[in-house]
Structures are given as C-alpha cells and as structure tokens.
Amino acid sequence: MAAPRELPDYVHEHKIDKITLDIIENALANIRFEMDRVLVTTAVSPVIREQADEFPLIADRKGRMVIGQFGSAIDVILKNSPYEISDLREGDVIATNDPYMMEGSTSHLPDLLLLRPIFHGGELVGYSSQWGNLMDVGGTTAGSIPVEARSIYEEGVRMPPVKLYSEGKLNEEVLYMFCHNTRMPKQVEADVKAIAAGTAVGAARVKELCDRFGRETYLEACDALLDRTRSGVIELIRRYLPDGQRFTFEDFTDDDGLGNGPIKLRLTMWRDGDSLNFDWTGTEEQVPGPVNFYLNPEMFKMFAGVFLIMAFAPTLVFNDGYYDVISVHLPEGSVLRPRFPAPLSNRLVIMARHFDVLQALFSKAIDGFSVSGSYGTSPNFVYAGTDQEGRSFQTMEILYGGIPARPGGDGLDGHSWWPEFFAVPTEYLEKYYPLRVESYAARPDSCGAGKWRGGCGISKTYTFLADGHITYQDDRAYTYPYGVDGGRHGESSRKFLVRKGTEERIPLLSKVQNVPVYVGDQLIFETAGGGGLGDPMERDPGKVEADVRRGLVSAEKALAEYGVVLEAAGSVDAAGTEKERARRLSARTGPLDQFDYGPLPPIDELRETIARTRREFNEWLSEQ
C-alpha cells in the first residue's frame, strides 16, 4: 500500500485565503454538531433523544451538500414540490417523508426530512436540512416498520413536499393532519418541531458566518470546500485503485420477510483515469416484501467516497464536490431501485449489505487494505400494547452487532453502523415502558476469528411486564458475515421466545410482525458478529487471552480457531501454543481463502429452507 502523502488543496483557483477557509470549514463542522445537539436535546422519542437517529446537513445555494451526512437531494425535493426557488422566503420550511419523491434521500416513511432555505440580505446563500426517525407514522404495525407489507401504502402516511412553515408561521393544519395519522401524535408533533429547531439553528449560524466574513467570502468558501474535496478524492482514486482492472463481488441478504430469499447483491467496480465506476447489474429484482432499498445515486457516490476518505484521508471533509468523478448504474426494478409503490420499511437489510459488498470490492482492489463482513443490518425492535393501568405504550429501539475487522484493528463489539448512534439506556427503557432488561452484553464466540477478529454481536434479554405485540427485523440468520484473507466468518443471528413458566426456547425468525407476548414472557435477541481479517494463527496470543478473560471468546474457541492453549488459571501456555500452531501450519495443504462465507448450503437449497421456515412460522403464529 502506498505511503500517505499530503493531499492537494483544490483544483480551481480561489481568492479566499487558506486560514479563512479553514476557519469557515471548522465553523460549519461545529454548526452541524450544534444542529445535532439541538435536535437530540429537544426531541422526546427514544429513537432520536437517546439513540440520535437523525442527520443534518448544510448545503450551498445550488443545493450541494457542503458538510453533513447522507448527501443532498434538495434539487429533487424542489422539483417534486409545488414551489420554485423564487417562491421560497425567509422562514420557509419544506417537509416530506416520501422516499420516492426525494430519490431515496431518506429511505422509509418514519424518516421525516425538513428543508429550510437560508437568506442573507435577501439573497439565497444555502439550505439547512435535517431529518429524524419518528416513532410512528401509521401503517399496519406500531412503529411503521411492517415486516409483511407488500406496498408502501401499508407502511404509513406519506407527506409530499409541502411548506410546514411559511415565512416563520407554522402550518398547523398540515402538522395536525400528519400527526393525526400516527399512533403517537404528541410525540410525533414534538419531534417534528425539534427537527425544525435543528434547521433553524443551522440557518442562524450560517447567517452569522456571512455577517462575520461577508456574504461573497462565505459563498466562495463553499465552492472552495467542494473543490478541495473533489481534488482530494481524485488523488485517492489515482493513488490506491489500479486503472482499468475490473473487480466484482456479490453477497446475499437472507429474505424479504415474506419467505422470498436469499436476495443477491452484485457490484462491479473499475477505475477509468480519474473517475471511478460502479455497476450493480446482476443484483436481484425488487422483492414483494419491504426490504427494498430505494438508493439515491448521489448517496451511493457519497458512500463510496467516504470509504476512501475515512480510510486514507480522514481530515478531508466529505461533501458533494466529488460526485462528478464517480458514476453508478442502478438497474431499474432491482432491490436497489424498486418501482413505486414497492414497500421500503425494512430497507436497512439491503442498505447494510450493500456496504458489505462495497467494502469487499475495495478489499479486492486495494493492496494490503481489507475489511471483513458485518452483522448485516440495523435491527429495529418495537414493543407495543396496553399496560395494566390501561395506558397504551409503544417503544422502538435500534440494536447493534459486530462491526468488521479492519487492517490493524479488531472490529467493534455491539456497535452501530453509524458511528454517532447510541444504545438506549436500560434505565430509560425500564422507567418509561413495561419491560425489564435482564441482560445486555456482547455475545460470546460470535466474532469471526482472525489476526484481527471481528466484533461480537449482542445478546439482549427482555422480560415483558404487560401484554402486547412485538415486531422486529434483523438479518444474517441464514447467511454469515464473511471473513477476509484467511479470517473466519462471524456467527449468524438468533432469536428465541420463552413463555412464562417454561424453559423452552422457541426459535423465532429474523423478521417478525405482531407476535403476541404476555406478562412474564421473555425475548432473547442475539445479533450476528463481524467477520475476521487475516490468519488466526498470527493473532497475538495475549489478545486471545484477554478476549477469553473478558468473556468475548471461550477457551474452546481459543484453541479451535486460534491454536492458543490456555492453562487452568486462564493464562497462555506459550510452549503449548507454539507447538499447537506449528502442528496446524504444517498440516495446511493450500493457501487461505480470500473470503470465508461460512457453511452456506447451495442457493436453491437455501431458498427452499427460507420459504419452508416462513410457512412453518406463520402456522405457529396463527395458533398463538
């Protein structure tokens, strides 16, 4: 792998000096985090307040994201709204939650996006935008993530781009109509207003920058930041990716929640001079169930660039500046580009797996830089019902799993795909909802072995204190997080229901809808681990010993996977380990696998198994 060197500033000439540009860049970064803070501290639902499932951005006057996350679809939102740019006024806020009407900038109906134009001296200088995951927007199940939806009409109320605020005045009728279609109108109203407050602080801070440095200097800084990121990404493409060589990878998600699966994602990548090309041809057609992911092409370009930036140039801000040097083909009618009105509520399965596929391609293309497979989604868990005092309740929680191993480091244990997410505190859940968390820990032996091991999944046990229903989605129950360069696969996910007064663990599927639970029942929720990287025989025995002492790896796996012999007291038997590893190395008959997919059966056999187990589960559920 080539040694890092300082990246050039930017391609085009700008009059702004570097010090002023750096000050404005850092000020914008702080604005983004202030927007986060305002929203998280004023929202009331746990998914935003406790887990920070929200994303802000600041865009320039052309609608290009200058700083933020997930990319910008401002042009698409305005195109699908009844407003022209000339119609926008100070204090206007456009709201929408329809993924199809914003080209997948948010990917399911609970994600509400607000867009606020920013004016300075009567001139449009940019946009402040933020979206947050609402607790409920209607639909057939609490939480608006139905596993069995067959169209988006079953997933909740859809708001087209419409002014929620007009010149600073709240459109009470629009908000009332939207909240009226949710199961939690008070919480939803509070969260919508909190998202609006986040965009307001973003707009106020941008105006302060214009006051401080002058409007023209601020606008030029936006152009310079976009150009600097563009030239930086071009340099990364030139430096790390071979020109002209094609790389292809495919992986599978389990199923769509209706018994259809496995679902293939296939991606080809090649560099052509200064540009990087991606083609998803060969990816499965859209499926009847709601795991379809309506992927915004600009968003995927952001993901591809972010991988390079975070791996090799983390000080480079990612924004919309480099999108013209990355091209992507998304086949219409595929699970990555489904046709309306395909359901989308559980799209995180495909979203997370497309990350795995993308990073596997970079692992193939970049010498000495490999990343393994992940736990494969962001599991959503919803518990709703009526407590013993007759009050309705509904909680939603995002759960985590094993993060991939990467060069020079183990994968994170029980972590989110999104670095700034948090776990809901147990104290919060037990205070406000009729449930008890019996245990919440890293899942032992779920991590894939390697010189650098994958992260462990989580194991969480809930006891329900009121009758109700549970709905959740997960994945990697049939497929495995792959290991790379001799690393072993991570373990798949598991779920069990234990009825009160029994000890039988009833196995549940990775995606269920409206399963009845009663007082005293327990749910054991176990997510998948991450794959390992590199030869397990090269892992430092001291690290293996530490993992055993922490309960992340059993003594049996230490011996079986790593060849590490432990004494009765748990410390490493150095001589025994050296002898055992030498024995195993001498017994090898060929090179290590580049990818370890785990004990997968033939695809046709797996397809039959998935369909059969779904039918059997539905029969069991009908009897409950």
Instruction: Give the tens place of pLDDT for each residue, 110-161.
Output: 999 999 999 999 999 999 999 999 999 999 999 999 999 999 999 999 999 9
The closest of 335, 262, 148, 151 to 611, measured between CA atoms, is 262
Domains of the chain, by residue range, sit at: 18-232, 370-535+592-624
pLDDT over 60 at 174, yes or no = yes
pLDDT over 90 at 537, yes or no = yes
What is the pTM assigned to this prediction? Answer: 0.93
**Interatomic CA distance for residues 365 and 370, integer angstroms:** 9
pLDDT over 80 at 552, yes or no = yes
For residue range 466-498, what is the model confidence (pLDDT) as tens digits?
A: 999 999 999 999 999 999 999 999 999 999 999
pLDDT (average), residues 432-457: 98
Tell me the two tokens of residue 501. 């007064």
pLDDT over 70 at 197, yes or no = yes
pLDDT (average), residues 51-78: 90
The closest of 276, 411, 423 to 356, measured between CA atoms, is 411
pLDDT (average), residues 515-528: 98
- Which distant-in-sequence residues (6+ apart) come within 8 Å of 317 by Cβ? 25, 29, 67, 225, 228, 229
The closest of 71, 366, 103 to 238, measured between CA atoms, is 366
Which alpha helices (H) appear in 491-602, and where do they start and end? Answer: 541-549, 555-562, 574-587
Going by pLDDT thresholds of 50, 70 and 90, the confidence category of residue 368 is: confident
- pLDDT for the residue numbered 149: 97
The closest of 359, 401, 394 to 378, measured between CA atoms, is 401
246-253 β-sheet, strand order: 246-253, 263-272, 275-279, 326-329
Going by pLDDT thresholds of 50, 70 and 90, the confidence category of residue 384 is: very high
pLDDT over 80 at 424, yes or no = yes
pLDDT over 70 at 61, yes or no = yes
- pLDDT for the residue numbered 438: 98
Going by pLDDT thresholds of 50, 70 and 90, the confidence category of residue 7 is: very low
**Interatomic CA distance for residues 389 and 387, integer angstroms:** 5
**Interatomic CA distance for residues 538 and 287, integer angstroms:** 42
**Interatomic CA distance for residues 27 and 225, integer angstroms:** 12
- pLDDT for the residue numbered 14: 85
For residue range 292-333, what is the model confidence (pLDDT) as tens digits?
A: 999 989 899 999 999 999 999 999 998 999 999 999 999 999
Cα angle 50, 51, 52 (rounded to 5 degrees) comes to 100
Share of the chain above pLDDT 90, in %: 91
- pLDDT for the residue numbered 340: 97
Going by pLDDT thresholds of 50, 70 and 90, the confidence category of residue 8 is: very low
Q: Parallel, antiparallel, or unpaired: how do β-strands 65-68 and 54-60 relate? A: antiparallel
- pLDDT for the residue numbered 12: 55
Tell me the two tokens of residue 122. 């009567």
Backbone angles phi, psi at 82, to 5 degrees: -85, 10
Among 140-154, 184-198, 412-426, 564-578, name the one with the lowest average pLDDT.
Answer: 412-426
Q: Parallel, antiparallel, or unpaired: how do β-strands 506-508 and 494-498 relate? A: antiparallel
The closest of 254, 275, 271, 272 to 263, measured between CA atoms, is 254
